[in-house]
Amino acid sequence: MSGRVVVIGVGNPLRGDDGVGPAAVEALRGRVPDGTVLAVSDGEPARVLELWRGADTVVVAEALRARPARPGRVHTLTAAEAASRAKGAASTHAFGLGECLALAEALDRLPPRLVVHAVEVADMELGARMSEAVRSALPELIDRIAASVRQAHERDDGG
């Protein structure tokens, strides 16, 4: 059995572009190798830490705000990059991913490998639809997640 790979889409599907992470995860159902766990989360750190417990590779799909903004741009970040980006309130969630990562580090619960794919968002009003810019970016986000998942399994199979 290969090491556990966990994909977490963080966000709220009722808040327009904030739902991009969960939307990518839903799109991947049935399209990932066995041994891949697909999950959605509101980003609450205790739950996120629980989701990646025992995982060898964690792939996070997120929404982020950036200045200057280019909605729809997809970023791929390492854990360290995500932690430093999140300090500037880059995440859209009450607890940032940065706080999750810092808490995990303090408790020695960082997964061995973690990668974050995040889309720059435009509209996160409650009840809003996903913006055109973010909807257009969804296929690229899904591709990047799928590639990360594939690599993780290949690495496990090879090692």
Partner 1 sequence: MNRRATRVLRLDALARVEGEAALHLRVEGDRVTQTRLRIYEPPRFFEAFLAGRGHAEPPDITARICGICPVAYQMSACRAIEDACGAVVDGPLADLRRLLYCGEWIESHTLHVYLLHAPDFLGCADVVELARGRRAAVERGLRLKQTGNAILEQLGGRPIHPVNVRIGGFYRTPAPDELRPLAERLRQARDDALETVRWVAAFDFPDAVCDHDLFALRDPGRYAIDSGTPAVMAADGDGPALREFPPSDFERHVREGQVPHSTALTALLDGRRHLTGPLARYAISGRWLHPLAAEAARDAGLGDPATGARCDNPFRSIVVRAVEVVQAVEESLRIIGGYERPPRPAVEVPPRRGVGFGATEAPRGLLYHRYALTADGTVTEARIVPPTAQNQTAIEDDVRRAVQARLDRAGPAADDEELTRLCERAIRNHDPCISCAAHFLDLTVERA
Site string for partner 1, 44-83 (x = CB under 8 A): xxxx-xx---------------------------------
Q: Does the protein bind partner 1 through residue 11 (CB under 8 A)?
A: no
Query: Would you count residue 138 as binding partner 1 (CB under 8 A)?
Result: no
Task: Give DSSP secondary structure letters for the chain.
Answer: -PPPEEEEEES-TTSGGGGHHHHHHHHHTTSS-TTEEEEEE---HHHHHHHTTT-SEEEEEEEE--SS--TT-EEEEEHHHHHHHHHTT-B-SSS-HHHHHHHHHHTT---SEEEEEEEE-S---TTPPPPHHHHHHHHHHHHHHHHHHHHHHHHHHH-
Q: Does 93 bind partner 1 (CB under 8 A)?
A: yes
Considering the complex, state which of residue 69 and residue 89 has its C-beta at the smaller distance from partner 1. 89
Query: Judged by CB under 8 A, does residue 106 bind partner 1?
Result: yes
Question: Considering the complex, what minimum distance in angstroms separates the CB of residue 47 from partner 1?
Answer: 6
Closer CB to partner 1, residue 128 or residue 147? 128
